[in-house]
């Protein structure tokens, strides 16, 4: 008979790692399942985190490492495997987490799988991915030192990417489909103060062009329909995220792929909780993901006592 855990946490970004820390402190028999080789989630691709209390300016990779080290120090158990599906029984029943390498069982689950970068969906994007097209400026920016790059998007991540790239690229274009940015005002002020950054307003990308490597972008102004070709060597796409929730379809209620769950992390399925970027919430930040992990453990403890 396979071992039945009190709790299985799926994902080890800030939400999953915070949940692991709180679960260890609560003395819950817990397993963390993570498909990536390294824990930390999206924070690993963030060059600098300046809004996590007490650690201003810490590197994203370093912060992710600290989260994991904390969980390790408390004795959290991790396994590298990818979840394919979850088989859920009636109320109070053991839940089976079916993975590529094994099947694990637990009385309760926390879904903390986070989200991934959204694709632009234009010709050339897939073909030139890794050959000038990137979704992570902090990962790939160094390859474009002294080159001309473009960032597509208008939120915090897009503006942060443009600021980061401006430190090493000769020219950075920020292309946004509207006439104002959604990013925090402090980020906007920083961006607009940079001499080598140019914002192209009211514009969308029609295609990413190149033969083996990115050469240019085909753009259209959405107000006057004017088309232009912009020569660039790199294109960084920052148009939002999509939740990593496909494995849970039909298991819990969702809203556009995000798992419906409130501050208590409870989903529509008894004994299954959601934390971090994968759940419905107004603000997706490292600190809110970590808070979700803590809240989820409180709900898990209550569920286990009552069931």
Active site residues: 136, 139-140
Please tell me the distance from the alpha carbon of residue 252 to that of residue 257, in angstroms, as a whole number.
10
Q: Helix or strand or coil: residue 148?
A: strand
Strand stretches in 11-118, DSSP E: 30-34, 77-80, 83-87, 95-99, 103-111, 115-117
Name residue 39's beta-bridge partners: none
For the sheet containing 148-152, what is the strand order? Answer: 133-134, 234-237, 148-152, 171-175, 197-200
Residue 246's alpha-carbon distances to 24, 114, 120, 251, 272, in angstroms, are 28, 12, 20, 10, 15
Question: Positive or negative, the Cα torsion across 72, 76, 81, 83?
Answer: negative
From the list 23, 41, 22, 140, the residue with the least C-alpha distance to 49 is 41
Distant-in-sequence, close-in-space partners of 260: CB < 8 Å, separation ≥ 6: 252, 253, 254, 267, 268, 279, 280
Please tell me the distance from the alpha carbon of residue 3 to that of residue 228, in angstroms, as a whole number.
61
Please tell me the distance from the alpha carbon of residue 151 to that of residue 165, in angstroms, as a whole number.
9
**HSE, side-chain direction, 13 A CA sphere, residue 154:** 14
Contact predicate 303/271, CB 8 Å: yes
Contact predicate 240/155, CB 8 Å: yes
């Amino acid at each position: 008979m396979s071992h039945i855990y009190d709790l299985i946490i799926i994902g080890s970004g800030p939400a999953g790692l915070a949940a692991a820390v709180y679960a260890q402190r609560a003395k819950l028999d817990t397993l963390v399942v993570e498909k990536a080789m390294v824990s930390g989630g999206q924070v690993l691709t963030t060059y600098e985190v300046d809004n996590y209390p007490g650690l201003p300016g810490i590197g994203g990779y370093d912060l992710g490492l600290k989260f994991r080290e904390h969980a390790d120090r408390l004795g959290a158990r991790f396994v590298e495997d990818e979840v394919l599906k979850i088989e859920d029984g009636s109320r109070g029943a053991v839940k089976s987490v079916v993975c590529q390498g094994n099947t694990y069982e637990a009385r309760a689950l926390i879904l903390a799988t986070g989200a991934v970068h959204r694709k632009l969906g234009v010709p050339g994007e897939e073909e030139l991915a890794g050959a000038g097209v990137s979704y992570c400026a902090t990962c790939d920016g160094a390859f474009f030192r002294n080159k001309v790059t473009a960032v597509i998007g208008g939120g915090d991540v897009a503006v942060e990417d443009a600021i980061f790239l401006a430190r090493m690229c000769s020219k950075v274009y920020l292309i946004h489909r509207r006439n104002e940015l959604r990013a925090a005002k402090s980020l906007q002020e920083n961006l607009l103060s940079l001499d080598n950054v140019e914002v192209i307003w009211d514009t969308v990308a029609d295609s990413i062009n190149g033969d083996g490597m990115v050469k240019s972008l085909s753009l259209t102004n959405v107000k006057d329909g004017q088309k232009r070709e912009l020569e660039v060597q790199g294109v960084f796409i920052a148009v939002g995220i999509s939740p990593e929730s496909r494995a849970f379809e039909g298991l819990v209620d969702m809203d556009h792929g995000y798992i419906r769950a409130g501050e208590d992390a409870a989903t529509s399925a008894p004994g299954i909780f959601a934390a971090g970027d994968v759940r419905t919430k107004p603000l997706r930040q490292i600190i809110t993901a970590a808070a979700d992990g803590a809240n989820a453990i409180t709900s898990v403890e209550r569920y286990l006592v009552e069931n």
